[in-house]
Amino acid sequence: MSVSSLTGLSRLCLHTITTRPWNIEQAADHYASAGVKGITVWRDALEGRNVSQTGQMLRDHDLTIVSLCRGGFFASKDSVKRKETLDDNRRAIGEAYELGTNKMLLVCGADPRQSLEDSRKQIFEGIAAILPEAVAAGIRLAVEPLHPMYADTRSAINTLKQANDMDDALDSSNVGVAVDVYHVWWDPELESEIARCGRQGHLLAFHISDWKIPTTDLLNDRGLMGEGCIPLRKIRSWVESAGFNGFIEVEIFSNTYWHEDQSQFLEKIIRAFRDYA
């Protein structure tokens, strides 16, 4: 099935971390049985497994492997750690290739011991360093800007404009962006920067969840679509006006939902996707 032919529920992709209590085999069984057609695989789900065989198992369930999550974390004051990170990103590119996907998500990293400018410089240099391997493997690198609350340790790339500017400077069709509504919904330049993504061919991924009110944990209290204040359908309209017609990826970190029966949680995801996404 070509991505351009996807409609309705067939555009739904789930990140394995969304149903974290399930291993990847359980996730594949349940996703496929529910009619979900896409899966984004987090690297922890591959631990102890043959990556190539796992990819085939997912395809046998009629699941499209949308992307591998995640590489990145390039920024560090420690030069030895930066080198180790580059080596790990190269391994991740190899895993993406073996798994059978053509996309890897990047959470770029930051280090509070140095300036944000230094972290951003190291992020640019890190992506440039792994880019030849990505091109050779046919893997596109999707830079995901993260909410400014994560600028201390998780990402010094905090707006879509910063991601677009860096992509322009890298000047490669193998580098683009992932728009995650949880991280960018607040940005007054979001509509214009999404349009810019479309013009430049940078828009590689679209992730959804919701911002709960109040949010009790800035990492692990994301909401189901329709449960918070993010204007999901408005942002989706901007993304689709920019030419994006691929999978819509549900990525929810939630201590609350991880403690629920995951089959019931999956039913809630599907209802929320249909009603609010």
Higher per-residue pLDDT: 79 or 1: 79
Place of tokens 């490669």: 172
Output the pLDDT for position 1. Answer: 40
Give mean pLDDT, residues 120-138: 98
Q: Extract the tokens encoding 25.
A: 């085999």
Residues β-bridged to residue 89: none
Q: Looking at residue 9, what is its pLDDT? A: 85
> Residue 118 corresponds to which tokens in the numbers above?
């230094």
| Ranges of each domain in the chain | 7-276
Calpha distance 36→134 (Å, rounded): 28
CB 203 within 8 A of CB 242: yes
CA pair distance 132, 95, nearest whole angstrom: 16
As a 3-state breakdown, the chain gives helix, strand, coil percent values, each rounded to 5, of: 50, 15, 35
Query: Scanning the structure block, which residue is given the tokens 């496929």?
Result: 32
CB 38 within 8 A of CB 64: yes
CA distance 178 to 167: 12
Strand, coil or helix: 107 = strand
Give the span between the Cα atoms of 201 and 204, in whole angstroms. 8
CA within 13 Å, CB half, 51? 19
pLDDT tens sequence across 216-229: 999 999 999 999 99
CATH 3.20.20.150 assigned to domain 7-276? The reply is yes
Per-residue pLDDT tens over the stretch 131-169: 999 999 999 999 999 999 999 999 999 999 999 999 999
Q: Which residues pair with 105 in a beta bridge?
A: 69, 142
Judge whether residue 5 has pLDDT over 50. Answer: no
Instruction: Say which residue the tokens 């009619």 belong to.
Output: 35
Tokens read off for 265: 């949680």
What distance lies between CA 118 and its chain's CA centroid? Answer: 24
pLDDT > 90? residue 44: yes
Residue 76 CA to residue 85 CA, distance in Å, equals 9
Dihedral of alpha carbons 146, 148, 150, 156, sign: positive
140 burial class (0-12, 13-18, 19+ CB within 10 angstroms)? buried
Which amino acid is residue 191, in one-letter code? E
Rounded Cα gap, residues 238 and 260, in angstroms: 33
3-state secondary structure of 179: strand
pLDDT of res. 43: 98
Residue with tokens 């509509």: 191
